[in-house]
Amino acid sequence: MDFFEAQARAKKRTSRLVALFALAVIGTIVAGYFMTLLGLRNVHRYQSIRGSRYRDAAEYQPENRELWQPRVFFAVTLGTLVVVGGASLVKWQEFSAGGSAVAESVGGRAIDPHTTELGERRLLNVVEEMSIAAGIPTPAVFVLDGEPGINAFAAGLTTSDAVVTVTRGALDKLSRDELQGVIGHEFSHILNGDMKLNLELSSLIFGILVIGLAGRGILWAMTRGRIRGDGKNSGGVIIAAGAVGLMLLILGYVGYFFGKLIQAAVSRQREFLADASSVQFTRNPGGITGALKKIGGYALGSSLESHKSSTIGHFFFAQAFESNFGGLWATHPPLTERIRAIDPQFDGQMFNPPEKVDVAHESFRTAGYAPGAVRPPPIPKIANPPVLNPVAIVATIGTLAPANIAHAENLLAAVPPRLRDAARSPTEAPVLLYGLLLDGDAAMLERQRGIVATKAGPDARRILGELEPVLRSLGPEHKLPLLQLAAPALRNLPPTALAPFLDTLDELVHADGRISTFEFALQKILTRSLALGEKPGTATVQIYSFNAVVDEINVVLSALAHTASNPGVDAGAAFTAGAEQLKLLDGRLALLAPAACDFVRLDAALDKLATASGPIKQRLLVACAHVVGADGTILIAEAELLRAISAALDCPMPPLLAAA
């Protein structure tokens, strides 16, 4: 799976989706126009028969039988566009609050990072391992407590505001292998750009549905006597209201019908890709197929009891609600097709539950059925990871290779439990990041402690004192993974606490009058992640030409070249190795002096490049990888800066095995 190709495919799917829905809206407008003509003629005919005083004032007389009436057509068009566009925009604004808003809207409960419940603890571990392996901030994790079926979904606009939500049934019934297969499937949606497409689908369909809901509301008001006329015109008012309500109801639900067909067709194709990606990530086909077989074997399967989730049914791992119209609205392929796509030898035999539950009278929870899953043996660790070449480095972006998952397990296993607990705590996570910036010099260390005590308070200073002895045993390769683990806790900081935290962090970075590569990487990754987590809708593409970002590319490559401290290769040679990968800018790039590409200028350059298109980012990262790999090795400082650049461009890069 290529990250940049996946993003390009997602963009093309979005364009096709918009085109299809545009056709659906055009069809709704045309149908609405003819229904409006018919309705006007019937109303006018009724007024003629009744001898209404409004007959002469009517703009369209009953004898007017022309099919083309521009004023009616434009009125219908404007009304339809306002309703559909306005409703879609309102729904999109709701979704733009981020993945957590989606999870909470369907009854999701955020899992306490310090939970001692075994199923929740196992789920958090799987999500953390995959996040570190993929190089993205750890998503917030939610559980649907009232759902005994087996299901899950990922939601969000970017990797920085993503959430992973699973049902209680998935926690209770799946083994660790199977749970990892399901989470791998959801991470595919996160990395492939499917989450944003899901939200766009839901917003557009809701816009069309609102027309039908408006018609249903009018008819409901009539049945309750809320709409009535006065005197001899009461009959005309009621008939007109009924005609309008019925017309809107038919139009809205016809458009909704075809919108759901489009949604289902798009969703089914993406599920096959996500299944294949999960197998590619875990190298364990039995994990995801085992989960699918359990869905097929249990009576409740993947169905959801609460209809709060009905509007996002296409988000889920498996079919969440019964499909209408003979499966035309099915958001997921049949289980047997999904299993055979992974295991062609599948004999059709689903999982046979050891205990039966009468779902007509009781749930799995009331029946007390919660089998304990045995953790399978860990993935074998890689003793001597290979040195990565530049092309391979960029190829890891947006992927979850088994080697990276094994490497993530090793990294997390080496992190002291006290630091992992601190990373999950909204109170201690900021202090943990302060600790990552502590200097080795005694005088500077004491000054930094004073900064924490003054700006963050005595409680922060006390916590820092508790963490310091443990932090001294931490290897440099574990620091950025800890930042990833702390992402959910930091995103939950209130604005009143976030600003002082970032201010304290900045003062610690500048305490010694210089900025190290790690300090820049930590600040850049953190601020970008928090900015997108708070306002995910700000991640937009504005630049499509290399010519518009020549200066910024020059700054990035020069900064990387000067970071390469191996005496075997000078900065000029490293810069040239990267510049040669950008043929369109041949002769326009030149190594800058260190002062002209310092971290202040690099920060500004990355902010502008973050709005560039995918192809520009891809070629730039290929060039960056050639700069750091010019001498055949990758130092930790180079790896940190390269990952910071990649994160600033919203291209998640896993930890570099060679650097570790």
The predicted structure's pLDDT at residue 64: 54
Most confident of 318-332, 513-527, 536-550, 625-639: 513-527
How sure is the predictor about 601, in pLDDT bands with cuts at 50, 70 and 90? very high
Mean pLDDT of 207-213: 77
Residue 379, classed as helix, strand or coil, is: coil
Specify whether the backbone of 547 is left (phi greater than 0), alpha (psi in -120 to 50) or beta.
alpha
The predicted structure's pLDDT at residue 565: 53
Of residues 267 and 173, which shows the higher confidence score? 173
- Point out the least confidently predicted range of 18-22, 280-284, 387-391: 387-391
Taking residue 117's Cβ as centre, other Cβ atoms within 10 Å add up to 12
186 is catalytic: yes
What average pLDDT does the chain have?
Answer: 81
Mean pLDDT of 545-553: 93
Of residues 639 and 422, which shows the higher confidence score? 422
Q: Which of 129, 147, 178, 186 is catalytic?
A: 186
- Distance between CA 144 and CA 166 in Å, rounded? 6
Q: Is 362 a residue whose pLDDT tops 60?
A: no
How sure is the predictor about 431, in pLDDT bands with cuts at 50, 70 and 90? very high
Of residues 574 and 212, which shows the higher confidence score? 574
Q: What percent of the chain has pLDDT over 90?
A: 31
The predicted structure's pLDDT at residue 42: 64
The amino acid at residue 36 is: T
The predicted structure's pLDDT at residue 370: 37
Instruction: Give which of 381, 434, 370, 438 is closest to 406, Cα–Cα.
Output: 381
Write out the two tokens for 478. Answer: 């574990």
Q: Is 321 a residue whose pLDDT tops 80?
A: no
Classify residue 475 as exposed, middle or buried by CB count within 10 Å of its CB (0-12, 13-18, 19+): exposed
Of residues 222 and 198, which shows the higher confidence score? 198
- Point out the least confidently predicted range of 92-101, 158-167, 564-573: 564-573
Most confident of 178-187, 388-397, 466-475, 629-638: 178-187
How sure is the predictor about 150, in pLDDT bands with cuts at 50, 70 and 90? very high
Q: Is 367 a residue whose pLDDT tops 60?
A: no
- Distance between CA 467 and CA 476 in Å, rounded? 16
* 611-657 confidence digits (pLDDT tens): 998 889 999 999 999 998 887 777 777 888 888 899 888 888 888 75
Mean pLDDT of 403-425: 88
Taking residue 639's Cβ as centre, other Cβ atoms within 10 Å add up to 25
How sure is the predictor about 602, in pLDDT bands with cuts at 50, 70 and 90? very high
Of residues 9 and 623, which shows the higher confidence score? 623
| pTM given for the model | 0.73
**Helix and strand element counts for the chain (H, E):** 24, 4
Q: What is the 3-state secondary structure of 511-567?
A: CCCCCCHHHHHHHHHHHHHHHHHHCHHHCCCCECCHHHHHHHHHHHHHHHHHHCCCC
Mean pLDDT of 226-255: 63
* 48-73 confidence digits (pLDDT tens): 555 544 444 444 454 556 778 888 88
- Distance between CA 569 and CA 74 in Å, rounded? 69
Mean pLDDT of 74-90: 87
